[in-house]
Amino acid sequence: MICNGDARLCDRKYSDVVFVGTHNSYALDGAGGLPGLANAASNQFINVPAQLGMGIRFLQSQTHVKDDSLHVCHTSCDLYDGGSLEDYLKSVSAFLNDDANKNEVVTLLITNPENYPIEKWADIFKAASLDSLVYNPSSVPGTRADWPTMRELISANTRVVVLMDYNADTTKVPWILPEFDLMWESKFDEVDASFPCGVDRVNGDAGPKLGMSLINHYLDSEFLGILIPDRNAAPTTNSVDSIAAQVNNCAALGEAFKVTHVLLDWADKGQAIEAGRKLNGLE
């Protein structure tokens, strides 16, 4: 069996695989934003199908309510509207349901800043034909050892791990997992290109205790007092050396700070896939 492109990943637990992914994966350059602001509010040069096609298996999206439905929007739908969450998820579903991709495991990290009813989230996943593919544990994993292997996820055809930053409720929808009960995140909107490592967001000591983490490895620059994604630095920021350096900064804090998820802007620039392979010990 081949799992996410390499047989050596199959018998690793999900929690022992490093996933390199896309920050604001829907926020395509020059699309969906106010005239003159599209560039400032975008984070990727290529769309979600192209990201998946290049090997990205971790997609982050920010959602906001528009006309009583969920859209993937950056900060607000007035600033950048990437379309409906349902359409976004359908693009993921189309990839996973393609016979060529039946051995691929994808992680979705979604935000719920406006506390949109969790049951309605489930309805949207169902409408996008993703509900049947989600990893649905009997309880939220309590340790890193509680996660299934990649082989087990693929064999069970539960190939979508869904994480939500805030307002998840596993008593109502058990497969939308509370991110910060499972991992910690580093600082976002970083302007220091050396990317120091530290815990920025977590629920108590849950993340370090579980040994899973997400580093936000994307660089911003300041323009007229506003932080915007630094697209010009992307080839350097997304190099193997830069990504590995931040991972090593975190590793120096101890085993509990092992990096398992990495988010990038402009992921097609630089060496995102090569970095993922190196961090997974595949080359």
Q: Give catalytic residue positions.
A: 23, 74
Q: Are 108 and 92 in contact (CB under 8 A)?
A: yes
Dihedral of the CA atoms 56, 180, 129, 77 (nearest 10)? -80
Long-range (24+ apart) CB contacts under 8 A made by 139-144 are 140/170, 140/177, 140/178, 140/181, 140/182, 141/15, 141/182, 141/210, 142/210, 143/209, 143/210, 144/13, 144/15, 144/16, 144/210, 144/211, 144/212
Angstrom distance (rounded) from CA 280 to CA 259: 11
Q: Which residues pair with 218 in a beta bridge?
A: none
Q: Determine the straight-line distance between the first and last CA of the chain, rounded to whole angstroms.
A: 19
- Return the half-sphere exposure (C-beta side, CA atoms, 13 A cut-off) of residue 164: 22
